[in-house]
Every structure is written in C-alpha cells, then in structure tokens.
Amino acid sequence: LPILLLNGPNLNTLGVRQPEVYGSHTLADVVELAERTAAELGFGLRAAQTNHEGEMIDWIHEARGQISGIVINPAGWTHTSVALADALVVPEVPIMEVHISNVHKREAFRHHSYVSPIAAGIIVGYGIRGYEFAIRRLAELVG
C-alpha cells in the first residue's frame, strides 16, 4: 500500500514564506523528493496539502485501509489541533511527524505538539530532507 504524505496549512507557500526559516525549496520539490524516495524503497506515494483542517481530517479518515503509513507536516495545527491528532489514530498506521525548521529553537508555542504523542517518530530541523528521512523510517517500520 502507498505512503500518504500530508502537508498542512501555509506549506503551499514553501519557498516564499520566511525562506530564512524554511529554505527556498517549494512544495513541488518536497513532493518530488518524497516520490523519488518512496519509489526507491518500492512504495507508491500519495501527496496532498490543504489549508482547511476539516478537509485534512476527512482525507485521514478516508485513508483507513488504503495506505501503509503517513508522513505529515501538520504545520500550525501541530500546536493547536486536538482534532487532527484524534483523526491520525483512525487509520491505525505508523505516523511520522516532520518539521522543516527546528521548532525547539523558535517561539515557546511551537515547542508543544499534539501530534507527537501518537507519532512513531519525529524529525525536526533537517530542512526538506526530513521528509526523505521520514519516508525511509516509515518503510523500515512497515516493510
């Protein structure tokens, strides 16, 4: 079954929003890197980004039984959304949480994650290469 790559709010602006924090790569670059990595490991990849929390939650519900694991950058919802964390347990697959920036050297409100307690692993501060590492780890966990 494929790996599901989910990106949360504002990540459609990667490369434009605060490049000093998030780098100059775009979301298209992230998806390409993820597809390449998944393919190398023998996995398909489904990728989606939304700025709408309910839409993200619906996708996660619909993924139940359809995917082998989830790589997610929940972006701002990391720090705010009990609902997203609740949804992520529905598919009953390993979840890898990715943050492009090192959230722990930023504002205190970015230090807490609602997603981390249900994540199999967390990758923080490796830039977009974090997505690659997350896919490699997921393949290891489900392979």
Catalytic residues: 22, 99
Q: Which is nearer to ligand DQA, 93 or 123 (CB)?
A: 123
Question: For the chain, how big is the Rg over CA atoms in Å?
Answer: 14
Q: Which is nearer to ligand DQA, 46 or 99 (CB)?
A: 99
Shortest Cβ 112–ligand DQA spacing (Å): 10
86 a known binding residue? yes
79 a known binding residue? yes
- Distance (Å, whole) CA 132 – CA 85: 22
Shortest Cβ 68–ligand DQA spacing (Å): 23
**What is the arrangement of strands in the sheet containing 3-7, beginning at the earlier edge strand?**
45-49, 3-7, 69-73, 95-99, 121-124
Binding-site annotation, residues for substrate: 73, 79, 86, 100-101, 110
